[in-house]
Structure 1
Amino acid sequence: MTDRVLLIEDDADIALGVHTMLSRNGFAVTTAGDGREGLRAFHGERPDLVILDVGLPEMDGWTVLERIRELSEVPVLMLTAHGQESDKVRGLRTGADDYVTKPFGNAEFVARVRALLRRAGSSEQPAEDVYDDGHVRVNFAAHEVLADGVPVELTATEYRLLVTLVRHRGQVLSAVRLLDLVWNDPVGIGPERVKYSVMRLRRKLGATSGADSPIEAVRGFGYRYRADRNRAAPLRQPKRIYRLGTMSGS
C-alpha cells in the first residue's frame, strides 16, 4: 500500500521540490498552501504522515499542529527555516515527531520520512485488532487504551511505547532499542528518557510501583511486557484521565 503524505507548505518552489522528491520515492503526496487548507486536506485525505511548515499564512504551523493533535497521533514532520533550539523544543513538546531545518538534503529528508512511517507502523497492518490480557486492553484501530476497564488517554509517545511493548511482549527491549522504535531522536535525547516515560506509563495504567506493573524492568538489559507477571497487589483504578496532547510525551 502506498503511504499518503500531506505537505502543508506555502512556498511554491519548496512545495514542488518536496512533492517531486517524495513522489519519485513512491509516496502519494497531497499539497496545501496554508494552514486552513491544510486542515481541510487532513480531514479529507487522512494521510499517513504530515509535513508541516511553521511559517504559514492564515494559520501558523503551531496552531495547525495543535489542531491535528486534538484529533490524531499521525506522525508530523515540522519543516521550517528557523533553526533555533527553542523552536525545536516547542515543536516536539507540542506533539511533532521530527524537525527539519531548511535547507535540507534530499536523501536525509526521505530517510526521516521513512523512519517516521516505520515507527508509526503505517506501512503494515497490525497483527491483531485488539490486545486484551485482562488488565490492559488496547484497541489498535481505535487507538483506545483501557486499564481494568477504565479509559486511559495517553500522549502519542506513551501510546507508541505501550503498543511497542505489547507487540513485543515477552521480549526484553533495551532502552536504546525502544528509542529507535518509539522516538524519533532529532535533538539527541538519551536512554534515560525511556526510564521516565516507562514510569509515567506505569502510573497511567494504574500501577503504584514497578512491582505491580506488567511492564517489567530487567536490570542491565531493558524492559519487557509480561501479562502473566505476578503482581504484589491488585492494581488501583486510575484516578485521572489524561488527554492526548496535554503533555510533551517525550
Structure 2
Amino acid sequence: MDRLLIVEDDAATALALRELLAARGYGVLCAADGRQGLRLLFAERPALMVLDLRLPELDGWQVLARARDMSDLPVLVLSGLDAVADRVRALRAGADDYLVKPCEPEELLARIEALLRRAGRREWTGDEALDELRLLPERRAALWHGGEARLSAIEYRLLQVLVRNRGRVVTTEQLLDQVWDDPMAVGRDRVKFGVLRLRRKLRAAGGPGAGDPVEVLRGVGYRFAAEGPGGP
C-alpha cells in the first residue's frame, strides 16, 4: 500500500489523520514542521503529501514551492485557511487539491484516492507528432518549435488530451474528467491554472515568434490550434 506524508503541526490533527489513513491500509509518515516535512519527502519518497499551510520553521507555501521544484508527487493542501485567495494561491503554486479544515473524513479519503489514481496511471505513448510539436513520454516532455518543455504529470496529460482533440474545443468539465479524474467537476480552478502553467512552459520552450498553441475560449473551454501534417 502507498505511503503518505502528513505535514501538520497540530498533534491532535496529525494523530487523527494518521489513524484514519492507517485504518485504510496506508503507510503514514508525519512531520510537525516544514523542514522535517521536506527531509522526509526527499528521503522517503512518499506517494502523496497532505500539507498544512501554517507551519513552524518553513511554512506550507515554502514547502509546496520546494516540493514542486523537485517532485511531481500529488499534494493535497489541508488547511484552516478558507479564503478564496488562499485556495487560488495554492492551486497556482502547484497544489493538486485543497480542502478546508475541518473536513469530512470520507471526503478526504476520496480526494486522496482520486489523486493516487491519477498519479498511478500509465503514461500515454508519444504517438502524436505535429509539424511544431512532438511529445516525449520517456522524458515527460514536449518539443515545441524545437525547444524542450519539461512537464509535470498533470501538464503532460493535459497537453495530450488537447492534442488528441486538436482543432476542437475541450470543455473545462471534460478536462477535469479526463486529466484530473474528477467527473463531478469539483475544483474548476485547477484547470485554469494547469493550462496557465502549460502555456507558459510551451511559450518559453518555443522562444520568440513560436506563438501559443492553446487557445482559451472564456466560459467554454480550451483548444489546441496548431495543425499537424494531416490538418487539424
Pick the aligned partner of 2:129 from 124, 133, 142: 133
Aligned AA for 1:88? R
Determine whether 1:230 maps to 2:231: yes
Alignment of 1:14-163 (within 5 A): 14-118=13-117, 121-126=118-123, 128=125, 133=129, 135-140=132-137, 142-154=139-151, 157-163=154-160
TM-score by length of 2: 0.73
Distance 1:181 1:4, change over 3 A: farther
Give the counterpart letter for 1:229 in structure 2.
Answer: G
Distance of 2:122 and 2:228 partners within structure 1:
23
Indicate conservation of the 8 Å contact 2:18/2:28, yes or no: yes
Secondary structure of the residue aligned to 2:231 is coil
Distance (Å, rounded) in 1 between the aligned partners of 2:99 and 2:124: 32
1:8/1:186 Cα in 2 relative to 1: closer, same or farther (>3 Å)? farther
Q: Quick one: percent identity of the two aligned structures?
A: 36
- Distance in 2 (CA, whole Å) between partners of 1:15 and 1:30 is 10
| Residues 59-92 of structure 1: CA deviation (Å, up to 9, x unaligned) | 1100000101111222211111121222112211
Does the 8 A contact of 1:158 with 1:197 survive in 2? no
The 2-side partners of 1:24 and 1:197 are apart by: 38
Is the CA contact (8 Å cut-off) linking 1:75 and 1:117 kept in structure 2?
Answer: yes
Structure 1, gaps ≥5 residues long: 232-250
Q: Secondary structure at the match of 2:119?
A: coil
Q: Check conservation: 2:141, 2:156, Cα contact below 8 A.
A: no
Partner Cα distance (1:198, 1:77) in 2: 18
Task: Report 1 or 2 for greater relative contact order, CA contacts < 8 Å, sequence distance ≥ 6.
Answer: 1
- 2: CA distance between counterparts of 1:162 and 1:141? 15
Give how far 1:143 is off: 2.8
Report the number of matched residues: 218
Matched residue type, 2:96:
D
CA contact (8 A) 2:52 2:60 kept: yes
CA contact (8 A) 2:80 2:101 kept: yes
- Note if contact 2:8-2:33 (Cα within 8 Å) is conserved in structure 1: yes
Rounded to whole Å, the distance in 2 between the matches of 1:157 and 1:126 is 11
- For 1:133, the aligned partner's letter is A
For the Cα contact (< 8 Å) 1:98–1:186, is it kept in 2?
A: no
